[in-house]
Amino acid sequence: MDKKVIQTIIEEIGVNSPAVLATIVNVSGSVPRHEGAQMLIFPDGRSVGTIGGGCGEAEVRREALIVLDDNKTKSYRVLLNSDLAADEGMVCGGIMDVLLEPLNHVHPYDFVLECLENIRPAVLVTQVSPESKKGVYDISGKKLAGEECKVDIKLLTEVYNKGTTSFVPDDNGHSVLYQPILPEEKLLILGAGHVGQYVASFGKKLDFKVTVVDDRPDFANPSRFPDADQILCSDFGQVLKDYKIDQSTYIVVVTRGHQYDEICLKNILGKPYKYLGMIGSRRRVKLLLTKLENEGYSVQELSRVKTPIGLKIGAETPAEIAISILGEIISVRRLQN
């Protein structure tokens, strides 16, 4: 779920300040975004989040204003191979079904944000009808917040484990939307040099929660990393012993030396990270990985380390290298679920 959208709902939505939440619930063919993508649309046309941009999104904005007037939830189909799309030169050839929900209160989204930030496994269930009902459930089927909904416990578990949105018909001729409330995606940057600076800056624009680690105060400080959520000026090994690495953690090792890379890897290998990449020359990397293998680390575990780090795009400058690294991270984020 889009944290920015959730935060905006909590901060701005009320009885006298309604908005419409647009959620992609089904797609077919070529589309710019997929199930679960969300956009919040206000009466003045302002929006937060995106469902793909272009004429399709503009069409949804117009329909959202009608939903605001009617104050009734509805599903709207966007044909991206329509004449309108063709006129704008943006033919994707696909179809998006978008759920449009008028919102005038924050509950249970306040609890959704709490689950996001505290890594509490849960699913937001929306029982769709003209007056939708919403409840937050754990994967065992226990209601945690919101309204009572008819839920499929097997589907709750499946949706959460796969990390995918599901929109299914119910027994009453309506539908139920299941949205997994997954942990925030974290970008852990080990090394506060030039490459680390750009990875942090660009990574924040990609909606990661960014943490930077270095043991040098002249490098690990807010003036060099104004966009970072957290800056830890301490020993790499100590930080990694305390930092919670999980399946939503993307790790970039860009330290200043071979010995620091080794400390980092020894404190990361074996943990359930999503991505682990390490910068370095081929010779330096080979020497380190061979040393770790000789010390008993498995070849399978060492093979998970992306090194040389980043996509092969001929990057040379720190900014270019950061883009190649984040390109590789995006491919893992979007293609390896």
Tens of pLDDT, residues 96-153: 999 999 999 999 999 999 998 888 899 999 999 766 899 999 999 999 999 999 899 9
Based on the fold, state whether residues 151 and 292 are members of the same structural domain: no
- Residue 190 shares a structural domain with residue 272: yes
CB 277 within 8 A of CB 252: yes
CB neighbours of 290 closer than 8 A, spacing ≥ 6?
Answer: none
Task: Indicate if 212 and 309 belong to the same structural domain.
Answer: yes
Residues 117 and 255 reside in one and the same domain: no
Task: Please state, in angstroms and rounded to a whole number, the distance separating the CA atoms of residues 96 and 77.
Answer: 6
Give, to the nearest 10 degrees, the angle between helix 109-118 and helix 3-12. Answer: 140
Verify that 197 and 262 share a domain, yes or no. Answer: yes
User: Is residue 296 located within the same domain as residue 194?
Assistant: yes
117 in the same domain as 94: no
pLDDT at 130: 64
Residue 119: predicted pLDDT: 83
Using a pLDDT cut of 90, give the percent of the chain over it.
Answer: 80
Contact 252, 309 (CB under 8 A): yes
Is the pLDDT reported for residue 168 higher than 90?
yes
Tell me: do 161 and 83 sit in the same domain.
no
Nearest CA-CA partner of 308 in 273, 277, 262: 277
Asked if residue 302 and residue 229 are part of one domain, the reply reads yes
* pLDDT band, very low/low/confident/very high, at 337 (cuts 50, 70, 90): low
The residues facing 96 across adjacent strands are 27, 78
Domain-ending residue, one of 122, 148, 181 = 181
The answer to whether residues 191 and 314 belong to one domain is yes
Q: What is the pLDDT of residues 206-245, one digit of tens each?
A: 999 999 999 999 999 999 999 999 999 999 999 999 999 9
- Domain boundary (135, 155, 181) is at 181
Question: Any idea what the CATH number is for the domain that residue 302 is in?
Answer: 3.40.50.720
Domain assignment of residue 8, given as a range? 3-103
Number of domains in the chain: 3
Residue that is last in its domain, among 103, 122, 148: 103
pLDDT tens-digit map of 47-63: 999 998 888 899 999 99
Lowest mean pLDDT across 65-74, 86-95, 135-144: 86-95
pTM for the complete prediction? 0.82
Q: What pLDDT was estimated at residue 111?
A: 96
Q: Average pLDDT, stretch 298-307?
A: 95
pLDDT of residue 89: 52
Q: 52 with 33: CB under 8 angstroms?
A: yes
Same domain, 45 and 98: yes
Do residue 209 and residue 329 come from a single domain? yes
Residue 55 has a pLDDT of: 85
pLDDT tens per residue, range 252-295: 999 999 899 999 999 999 999 999 999 998 888 999 999 999 99
Mean pLDDT of the chain: 92
